[in-house]
Amino acid sequence: MRKSAALVKLLPSEVLRLAKAAFRAPLRWMLMLLMPVPQSLSFAPQDIRTADPTLADDIYAGYFSFAGKTVKADGHSSFEVTPPSTEWAKALHSFEWLRHLRSAETALARMNAHALIEDWLNLNAKQSAALVWAPEVTARRLMVWLSHSPLILEHVDLQFYRRFMRALTQAMRSLIRRLDQGLEGHSKILALIAITELSLCADGMGWMSRNYSRKLVRELDRQILRDGGHISRNPQVLVDLMLELLPLRQLFVARGINPPDALQNAMDRILPMLRMFRHSDGSIALFNGMGTNQPDLLATLFAYEDTEVEPVLNADLSGYQRRETGGSVLIMDTGLPPQGALSCEAHASALAFEFSSGGIKIITNCGAADARLADFRHASRFTAAHSALVYQDTSSAQFLSSRLAGYFGAQVIDGPRRIEMNNRSDHISHTIDATHDGYRHQNILHRRKLTLRRDGRHISGFDELIVLKNSVSRAHTSTLRFHLEPATQIQRYEDAGRLLLTFADGQAWLFSVVDENAGIEESIHFAQAAGARRSLQIAVHTTSRQINWSLQDVTPQVEIV
């Protein structure tokens, strides 16, 4: 019933969006005719992502490995082979793998890059328009081609140069059309960055650079909240944006143009928020679409800043809380799910938390399943995939079914509408006390209070089910879940309510729950660089309305065998 009601709400907005696009179409085509066309490139933005020159040999041999799949071209064009997955095809057509060829710094790699670009120019008309010209794929391809244009255009003839410039123009116009049709979220910012970069790299496009840089900073002001979070609440978006905004800022400087103040302001807000999500082991917390961490990229981002910025602690607008003390870090989701298309990566993670200490992740979430595990993508968004309380085996937020998600995206259609929070700190401890109403349809509120002692060695938790209406005769079954990373060792310690967690660095933490059984169950950790791995979780199945538990560092008191 709730999904049907949500669909009824979605249809009018989708009809309105299509009607606006149709109304603007004639004006858009007139503007396209008047728009300046790039004729030559004088600048190239820097690609700050790390590259592996050894992969250039694999690509030359015809092996293309993306999204956990490898395809051998076997003498055919890589753009003609049947893609093993949609994500593989997107990665191929985004051309982000060009950085590996450039890093090889050999004539063979340069010739291969030139041949592959020419291949794409010859065959792109035969490709699936929906995939090849998807906004994010197009924007990334345009930015990559600009960044690696010195490699692509070295020693080429005039005919190829003109074809390449026409392809850049085609990508620019495709993005402008999609922007006019109502593109939203992260994809909209990427499209604006790509168009702005082209207008700065090409000669004679000053009007375009001024126009689209203004549009970009307006969109950054709209999507980047005052505390530095993105309106989608996805930490991965912040990582992706910084990787594109840093080269754009450098490109303005190279052009002799002062970067817009709003661009720098957005970046100045994002970086402290990224540090807010950063654990003591250097990884980013696994909330709302964040999956596999790439430490090299994070190190690159932070290395580009001149000064060490302090992390945000109370990100009320983004809906996160951080407490850091005694070498331990506690991060908690205290926000409402985003609305509409912005919620397609959001998770049912209300009041979930992660905890790290001394460079080790003690408690984690499962993370977002990546393209290699598309079938698990939906399941990884459920509350059960988070260190949170699951009431009656249901999630605190509901998503569109996979069938409808193909039309509208996997949006959140119902979830918490209200979260109340009280924070307290004194000379002994920090406390986060929050309540969400994601289970209001079952007449239940969930309250969670986490208290981290100032020495960082003890965290206590109190989870409570608050009944909204009289349901005394009804059983209130719930499960507290605490997910662990794959390397964590766990064993029973003395009684049914206590478990000992041990780690490779010698740390030992004792989990205790009062008057309940602490079970050990299987889990899966999606945020591993090598792909998903089996892991374990602590599960407390209970019918009690109040559960007290704790996690204590007992390293000095326990002999690790």
Cα atoms found within 13 Å of the Cα of residue 349, Cβ hemisphere only = 36
- The pLDDT value recorded for residue 400 is 84
Report the distance separating Cα 333 and Cα 419, nearest Å.
10
Task: Name which of 66, 72, 78 is nearest 117 in CA terms.
Answer: 78
Q: What is the DSSP letter of 321?
A: E
Opening angle at CA 560, ends 558 and 561, nearest 5:
135
pLDDT in tens, 168-208: 999 999 999 999 888 999 999 999 999 999 999 999 888 88
**Would you say 268 and 249 are in contact if contact means Cβ atoms under 8 Å apart?**
no
Instruction: Give the N- to C-terminal CA distance of the chain in Å, as an integer.
Output: 54
Report DSSP letters for 409-472, one per residue. -S-EEE----EEEEEEE-SSEEEEEEEE-TTGGGTEEEEEEEEEETTSSEEEEEEEEEESS--T
Report the distance separating Cα 517 and Cα 243, nearest Å.
46
**How many angstroms separate the most distant Cα atoms in the chain?**
82
Report the distance separating Cα 376 and Cα 512, nearest Å.
31
Residue found under tokens 């654990």: 279
How would you class 560 by CB atoms within 10 Å of its CB: exposed for 0-12, middle for 13-18, buried for 19 or more?
A: exposed
Q: Which two tokens stand for residue 115?
A: 């041949």
Report the distance separating Cα 93 and Cα 468, nearest Å.
52
Q: Which two tokens stand for residue 425?
A: 């700190």
Give the pLDDT of the chain (561 residues) as one tens digit per residue: 555 555 555 555 555 555 555 555 555 555 555 566 788 899 999 999 888 899 999 998 889 988 778 899 887 888 888 888 888 999 999 999 999 999 988 889 889 999 999 999 988 745 557 889 999 999 999 999 999 999 999 888 999 999 999 999 999 999 999 998 889 999 999 999 999 999 999 998 888 889 999 999 999 999 999 999 999 999 999 999 999 999 999 999 999 999 999 999 999 999 999 999 999 888 999 999 998 877 778 888 877 765 667 888 999 999 999 999 999 999 999 999 998 889 999 999 999 999 999 999 999 999 998 766 667 888 899 999 999 999 999 999 998 876 665 566 788 989 999 999 999 999 999 999 999 999 999 999 999 999 999 999 999 999 999 998 765 556 789 999 999 999 999 999 989 999 999 999 999 999 999 999 999 999 999 987 777 899 999 999 999 999 999 999 999 755 544
**Strand stretches in 504-561, DSSP E:** 508-513, 519-525, 533-542, 546-553
How is the chain split into domains, by residue range? 47-175, 184-301, 333-557
Task: Name which of 145, 143, 214, 212 is nearest 176 in CA terms.
Answer: 212
Say which CATH topology domain 333-557 has.
Answer: Beta-galactosidase; Chain A, domain 5 (2.70.98)
Report the distance separating Cα 376 and Cα 372, nearest Å.
9
- The pLDDT value recorded for residue 27 is 56
399 CB neighbour count, 10 Å cutoff: 26
Report DSSP letters for 43-63, one per residue. ------S---THHHHHHHTTE
- The pLDDT value recorded for residue 561 is 46
- The pLDDT value recorded for residue 22 is 55
Strand 389-391's sheet: what is its strand order? 389-391, 478-483, 533-542, 519-525
